[in-house]
Amino acid sequence: MPFVKEPFSVPAPIKAFVYVMRTLGYTQGEAQRHISKGRILIHGESMRYPGRIIDGEIEMVFFRPKSRGVKPLFSNKDFMVFEKSSGILVHPKTMATSYCMLDEIRSEAGDDANATHRIDMETSGLLLASKHKKAEAYLKTSFENKQIQKSYLAWVDGKLTEPFSVSVPILANKEGFDVTKQKVFVDEEKGRASHTDFIPLEYDDQLDTTLVACYPLTGRTHQIRIHLFHVKHPILGDPIYGATYEATSDYLDSLQTQENRLVEHGAPRLLLHAQTLRFHYGSEFYIQSKIDFRLLKKLIYPKEKRRFNRN
């Protein structure tokens, strides 16, 4: 378990963030974030108010990484690149998260190391992580300024033969999530601009699936997934885009059987893989995944048995 509790005794009444700053050597911002995440426990309950007066016996929760032996694909003094497996979170979702890529990142490079971008839990492939705060700031800014190019591979439902692009506004589904189960959707009026280029690489007639190279020019949440669903070629194994409401609900509620996952979504995992990274950091870097994603075609359920929804 990467999160551990440690006891502390507060000798006199003091504001919580001041105590954390003095005790742990944090800045005010770091102390406030530590508290707002619920990492001070009073009588066993999380306290999230930085300005609250505390005294007496408390506990604080700390992230203590525990490696499973995953080593970076590439590493230098400033950053690392890992191959993330499908089904693994990048950061802990809650304090009950038993393992995530941050365990490997901080086991490798210490408490100042961090992931510099997001990858969906079910997406596999390249994850860029910084080794120190200066590198983290530079790389995150590079992502924000679209100075880091990423490419992905995906096995999609149906036949595609010609390169194409999707450029549609995407809106985060902050309200009504229970109605559609989609995190984002296309909205021409309120959505934010998004663009992805796609190049079909090969088609398997028996499985009715196409391997597609994906080149996102923007970095919206679920962008590649919603773009392919929008053109009626959803990614096989996608539990949200291209599935019925009932199937997605079962998946999100952890009620779905393995058989139902195959029938309703077409594969036991989302068949999307972060394949390459290209960026500048002192010099030019081009890093490519060593995983042969083509081989994951063997995971695809026969087309006559799967019940995937393109609409």
Residues 58 and 78 in one domain: no
pLDDT of 180 reads 61
Residue type, 34: H
The verdict on whether 120 is a catalytic residue reads yes
The catalytically annotated residue of 55, 78, 120, 253 is 120
Residue 282 inside a domain? The answer is: yes
Residues 116 and 188 in one domain: no
pLDDT of 242 reads 86
Which residue segment(s) compose the domain that 236 sits in?
A: 149-299
Residues 276 and 226 in one domain: yes
Residue with tokens 């919580």: 16
Instruction: Identify which of 216, 179, 222 has the alpha carbon closest to the alpha carbon of residue 198.
Output: 216
Residue 307 inside a domain? The answer is: no
Contacts of the segment 247-256: beta carbons below 8 A, 24+ positions apart? 248/181, 249/181, 252/181
Strand spans (E) along 17-111 = 40-42, 45-47, 53-63, 74-75, 79-84
Q: CA–CA separation, 301 vs 238, rounded Å?
A: 13
Q: CA–CA separation, 285 vs 293, rounded Å?
A: 22
Instruction: Identify which of 190, 174, 206 has the alpha carbon closest to the alpha carbon of residue 302.
Output: 206
Residue 222 inside a domain? The answer is: yes
Q: What's 113's domain CATH number?
A: 3.30.70.580
Residue with tokens 């590079």: 142
Q: What's 28's domain CATH number?
A: 3.10.290.10
Question: What is the total count of domains within the chain?
Answer: 3
Strand spans (E) along the chain = 3-15, 40-42, 45-47, 53-63, 74-75, 79-84, 114-115, 124-130, 149-157, 164-167, 170-172, 184-186, 195-204, 209-216, 272-281, 283-288
pLDDT of 1 reads 55
pLDDT of 294 reads 96
Residue 174 inside a domain? The answer is: yes
Beta bridge partners of 42: 45
pLDDT of 178 reads 58
Q: How many other C-beta atoms are found inside a 10 Å radius of the C-beta of residue 270?
A: 24
Residues 190 and 48 in one domain: no
Q: What is the mean pLDDT of each run of 10 residues along the chain (311 residues)?
A: 88 96 94 94 94 95 94 97 97 88 96 95 97 96 95 97 95 67 82 95 97 95 94 95 87 91 95 98 96 96 81 55
Last residue of a domain, one of 144, 169, 199: 144
Burial of 178 (0-12, 13-18, 19+ CB in 10 A): exposed
Query: What pTM was estimated for this model as a whole?
Result: 0.89
Residues 24 and 153 in one domain: no
